[in-house]
Amino acid sequence: MMMIEQREETSKTETERRAKQSILRSFSSGEDIIAWLADRFQIDTQEARSFGSMLVALGYIYPLQDHKRLLIKPDASLYRFQTPYFWPTQQWPVEDTDYAIYLAKRNIRKKGILELHEQEQYNRLHKWMNHKWDFIVMQAKEQYRAAKERKKPDRVVFECQERAYWVVHRPPPGTVSAMDYGLERRIDPNADETKTPDFYERIMIFTQQSIMRPRVKSSVSIGALVKYCTTYNSHDPFLSKCLPSNPWLTDDVTFWTLNRLNVEVPSKMRVERWTFSFGELLSDPRGRDDFRLFLKKEFSSENLAFWESCEDLKWGTAATMREKAEQIYKTFLARGAPRWINIDGKTMEITVNGLRHPHRYVLDAAQTHIYMLMKKDKYGRYIKSPVFKDTMKKAICPEEHKFSDAQLEQNAKNRRPSLSPIILRQQELEQRAKMAANAPVDITQLCRFTTPVPHLAVYSGITDSPSLAFPAPSPACPSPISVALDSTSACERRLEADERKPEALGPVRGPVSKSRMALSLRRLLKRGCTPATMFASLSPKCHSAAGTSSRIQPISPDEPSQAPPRRIGNFFQIKVDIPPECRIYPIESEDEDEANRSASRGGVGTKEIICPWESLTPHNGTG
């Protein structure tokens, strides 16, 4: 478009020049210029005004007052013509050297007080053009002295001209310039390419591939396009009004603050978008939060957690990939994992085989499966659920702004830069960590084989603090997780069962846990559990390990609970050395015995686990 403008301009410069001669004064008011343009080119005032603005934006005319707003105002504000040296017509490259010389000159004149953006540019150019800096300083001095040779009014005009030129080509923040500087390319993509054999070979490959491409019937594709357009028409800020107001037009950022990623109350348009497709819901963080809430109520939040962790694996850094894959496996996929997801056998087989050599997309099949599961089943229910309906009711519909011209100018003056993306990223990471720390473990999966492993903080929702204590005292143990699984399975199981007792409100899936719950209830009633231990179980999950340790001691003797957390490490170290079959806890009933033995057997069985890491690393813990 710039090229077209330039061609127009070059054709018009002749006529312009003649016309400019006819305007005898050295400056003109805006309205005069517009009137003359309308008269000369036989166009109406509105078009003359936009043409005039284009002239100003390109740098042919510059305003004398308010030199940073590059448009023509139809009042008595004054404009002056730019000297041909500074015209953009010939498309001479705008050199950084010249800009540096200009800044140095300005520095001399202003005695070191430059505007902020000028100061920044100055420092930047000083850094990058250091080898030429002597030259720049010398030239600046000489040019300054040469300019001083002229009379004062000419000097002022000269300074104005130069300043106007640089306002167009290096616009200060807040100035909209017409110069769109694209990337500087070595090859001009519009130039004709020489017809070499390589060129023809590329064309041949391209045409062969296009023949092989799968084709869709145009009725289908056009139908999809039409559907898309009709659905998203009212959501497109170009095609329909953007409530409250489009920040790019009115410089008012309410729209962005209302539509932040983690805003409490979303807008109605946003909520409506969630109903379009499942992808929309998941890609909007606020929608995802809402969905997560719904899934928590349905006790199937492990699906979304798994999906999110797969995304994290796909998009994360290569260095962390292995640990992430390991964690995901142990949290979601392993037999006996705390948040076990329900995928079919074939996918599980593929995934586990792939995990032997983990790469970024190793969990793709499982992720797709879970995604389709959520989409087909949960999404529909979510849309009909009270959670969604509640959100929709609470969603706000902001009023449209009606700014007057003066207010628009005020807004333009008050433009401020937004938060740095670095800060935003930090906030995001903090929030994620907080969420990981506070999220509860899924209740449904607490059956005989599930044990909440304290180490896996990320997606199982347990804090890192207990896990930090463990590796320190027991560094020798290569995979403490499996050992911990074995040794603590029984006591954890008991803890879980006891914990579940007070929280028996929620529906618990799986008959196994129910029976276990019933059993444990009976057991506890038989034993007469102390209220202290019960209250300990009521405390939030992050103290589970503390609770565990405190519970382990009272199980054998009936000592008061709440051993200090520091004892955890020692305790577990002791426990680690003892083989799991050894019964530390008092045996109250037969079924507990059986449970213990089967758990340990299960523990032994889990040692032959399909988990590829454990098969590779030798066990010396519970041998």
Partner 1 sequence: MGKEECKTMLDALNKVTACYRHLVIALGSTSDSQNLREELKRTRKKAQELAVANRTKLTALLKDKTISKDDRAEYERLWVLFSSSMELLEVDMKRSLEIGQDFPLKVPTRHLIQTGMTGSTTTVAARAMSVQNMKYEADSNIDTADLRDLQTEISQVSQMMEEMEMKVQVAPWAVEAKQEAGAELKSNMSVGNSSVGVISICEEEPKEEEGGGGSSKGFASICAVIVFFIIVFAALILGYLVINMS
Q: Which residues bind partner 1 (CB under 8 A)?
A: 17-18, 20-21, 23-27, 80-86, 90, 92, 95, 97, 104, 107-109, 111-112, 114, 119, 122-123, 126-127, 130-135, 137-139, 141-151, 153-154, 157-158, 161
User: 149 or 264, CB closer to partner 1?
Assistant: 149
Measured from the CB of residue 26, what is the shortest distance to partner 1 in angstroms? 4
Measured from the CB of residue 22, what is the shortest distance to partner 1 in angstroms? 10
Check if the beta carbon of residue 551 is closer than 8 Å to that of residue 495.
Answer: yes
Question: Of the candidates 147, 153, 149, which has an alpha carbon nearest to the alpha carbon of residue 104?
Answer: 147
Question: CA 542: distance to chain centroid?
Answer: 28
User: 118 or 252, CB closer to partner 1?
Assistant: 118
3-state secondary structure 340-403: CCCCCHHHHHHHHHHCCCCCCCCCHHHHHHHHHHHHHHHHHHHHHCHHHHHHHHHCECCCCCCC
User: 64 or 229, CB closer to partner 1?
Assistant: 64
Measured from the CB of residue 1, what is the shortest distance to partner 1 in angstroms? 24
Measured from the CB of residue 148, what is the shortest distance to partner 1 in angstroms? 7
Amino acid, res. 241: K
Name the phi and psi angles at 87, rounded to 5: -75, 150
d(CA 565, CA 7): 79
Measured from the CB of residue 321, what is the shortest distance to partner 1 in angstroms? 39
User: 62 or 332, CB closer to partner 1?
Assistant: 62
User: 26 or 207, CB closer to partner 1?
Assistant: 26
User: 24 or 419, CB closer to partner 1?
Assistant: 24
β-pair partners for 487:
none
d(CA 404, CA 11): 38
User: 144 or 585, CB closer to partner 1?
Assistant: 144
Measured from the CB of residue 199, what is the shortest distance to partner 1 in angstroms? 31
Check if the beta carbon of residue 299 is closer than 8 Å to that of residue 444.
Answer: yes
User: 13 or 347, CB closer to partner 1?
Assistant: 13
Check if the beta carbon of residue 482 is closer than 8 Å to that of residue 606.
Answer: yes
d(CA 356, CA 397): 51
Measured from the CB of residue 139, what is the shortest distance to partner 1 in angstroms? 6
β-pair partners for 396:
267
User: 10 or 45, CB closer to partner 1?
Assistant: 10
Measured from the CB of residue 188, what is the shortest distance to partner 1 in angstroms? 20
d(CA 57, CA 54): 5
Q: How many Cβ atoms sit within 10 Å of the Cβ of residue 574?
A: 12
User: 150 or 260, CB closer to partner 1?
Assistant: 150
Which two structure tokens, joined as six digits, stand for 249?
Answer: 């037009």
Q: Which residues contact 405 (CB under 8 A, 6 or more apart)?
A: none
CA angle 360, 366, 372 (to 5 degrees): 120
d(CA 344, CA 217): 34
Name the phi and psi angles at 179, rounded to 5: -80, 105
Question: Of the candidates 572, 622, 568, which has an alpha carbon nearest to the alpha carbon of residue 600?
Answer: 622
Measured from the CB of residue 462, what is the shortest distance to partner 1 in angstroms? 49
Measured from the CB of residue 173, what is the shortest distance to partner 1 in angstroms? 20
